[in-house]
Amino acid sequence: MARRKKIYEGKAKTLYEGPEPGTIVQYFKDDATAFNAEKKDVIEGKGVLNNLLSEYFMLGLGQVGVPTHFLKRLNMREQLVRSCEIVPLEVIVRNYAAGTMSKRLGIAEGTQLPRPIVEYCYKDDSLGDPLVTEEHIAAFGWASQQDMDDILSLALRVNDFLSGIMYGVGIKLIDFKIEIGRIYDGDFQRLVVADEISPDSCRLWDIKTEQKLDKDVFRRDLGSLTDAYSEVARRLGLMPNNPASITKPTLIN
């Protein structure tokens, strides 16, 4: 069988040409990186969990009318997505202070913000994805004013959806990052939520204990990353509650 053509290898995913024109296969790796890849490890099972979780969030978003690039999950580690041109921005939505916002503004981690705050970073690893303003985005032509209106609306809709889903399973959505893709239909373009939505790109805290269930577990050496991600998947009903209770298939005579 001919090997698929690799299009791009990123830190956590590899992209291959899809079976139809305009499609891409996203392969979720077990590689974990933090601090712009200064810290690296291979965490067995992370790719499988992120594939499952991202599918769950993208499908849910589609069901409430938020367009995404997701088409279908193919297997444990791969999903089929629509190919799109990625807007070179990381769109971050914050409900509580944490991470770089806490450092920059001296606000204690976990402080609830007066309202969701949306930030934009220019996607460039060599620069460490710097924070930029809408002035930079307009002046350098990374996105038009119409795009920015649509991106803000998409980001806030994703925030409402994800916050609600997570709240329902006892998890606080502290912040998250999404990426936006452009899909061209003839002369028209549509903006869709692209890349992935997983605990790699969100901060998720248990509501009662404030236990971290996201990539900070890896960044800050707080324990097992797969245990944390499995807990999120389990609460969302994506994993059996008690794996020990799964019995072998019984042969029917």
Tell me the C-alpha distance between 200 and 187, whole Å. 35
Number of residues that bind ligand CDP (CB under 6 A): 14
Interface with ligand CDP, residue 194, by CB under 6 A = no
Interface with ligand CDP, residue 191, by CB under 6 A = no
DSSP summary character for residue 212: B
Contacting residue, 23, 33, 100, 189, with ligand CDP by CB under 6 A: 100
Contacting residue, 69, 82, 215, 235, with ligand CDP by CB under 6 A: 215
In the complex, which residue's CB is closest to ligand CDP? Answer: 99
Interface with ligand CDP, residue 129, by CB under 6 A = yes
Residue 131 Cβ vs ligand CDP, minimum distance, rounded to whole Å: 8
Long-range contacts of 3-9, Cβ-Cβ distance < 8 Å, separation of 24 or more = none
Task: Return the closest-CA partner of residue 53 out of 180, 200, 154, 170.
Answer: 200
The footprint of ligand CDP on residues 63-92 (CB under 6 A) is 90, 92
Cβ proximity to ligand CDP: between 45 and 99 the closer is 99
Binding mask 7-36 for ligand CDP (x = CB under 6 A): ------------------------------
Binding mask 142-181 for ligand CDP (x = CB under 6 A): ---------------------------------xxx----
Q: Which residues pair with 84 in a beta bridge?
A: none
Long-range contacts of 34-43, Cβ-Cβ distance < 8 Å, separation of 24 or more = 34/215, 34/218, 34/219, 35/219, 36/125, 36/128, 36/129, 37/11, 37/125, 39/218, 39/219, 41/218, 43/218, 43/225, 43/226
Tell me the C-alpha distance between 245 and 49, whole Å. 20
Interface with ligand CDP, residue 46, by CB under 6 A = no
Query: Whats the size of the chain, residue-wise?
Result: 253
For residue 15, give every residue at least 6 positions away whose Cβ sits within 8 Å of its Cβ, in sequence order, or none: 6, 7, 8, 9, 24, 25, 26, 27
Interface with ligand CDP, residue 203, by CB under 6 A = yes
Interface with ligand CDP, residue 225, by CB under 6 A = no
- Which residues sit at the interface with ligand CDP, rule CB under 6 A? 90, 92, 98-101, 129, 175-177, 201-203, 215
